[in-house]
Amino acid sequence: MEKIAFSFILDYLYPLEIRVSPMFGCHALYNHEKILLIVRDRPEHNESNGIWIATTFEHHASLEQDITCLHSVSILNDRKRETAWRMIRSTDQDFEKNALKICELIKNGDIRIGKFPKARKKKLH
């Protein structure tokens, strides 16, 4: 497997069982079947580099009280509207400090972070 971006967060998430899976040129981090984060560090669209947080619209305000630098992941919708996903940009001044905060919330079982992916429909032959 290719090296994942910002791999230090795996240390921050220890002792959780984290599965890393390639996704869209990035890497998704799962705990069992729940997607928690996506990490991205690519040369194109560098404003989308950082740690993407799987969450829902209903949790945006409270998460942004805990971590004030959260942004929408604009690459997911061509910058046309807000996305449910939030992110910490790798260029943010307190990137690593905020990454640690997110990991601590996850380790403490924060219900605002993580999604169970929708079941894929089976293709008929």
Domain-located, residue 38: yes
pLDDT at 14 over 70: yes
Task: Specify the pLDDT at position 83.
Answer: 86
Residue with token string 């040129």? 25
Compute the radius of gyration of the chain from its Cα atoms: 14
pLDDT tens-digit series, residues 56-115? 999 999 999 999 999 988 777 666 678 899 999 999 999 999 999 999 999 999 999 999
Q: Which domain holds residue 62?
A: 8-107
| 116 domain-assigned | no
Measured CA to CA, the distance from residue 12 to residue 115 in angstroms comes to 20
pLDDT of residue 81: 72
Question: Using an 8 Å Cβ cutoff, are 8 and 17 in contact?
Answer: no
- Give a yes or no: residue 74 inside a domain: yes
Tally the domains of the chain: 1
Q: What is the pLDDT of residues 34-47, one digit of tens each?
A: 999 999 999 998 98
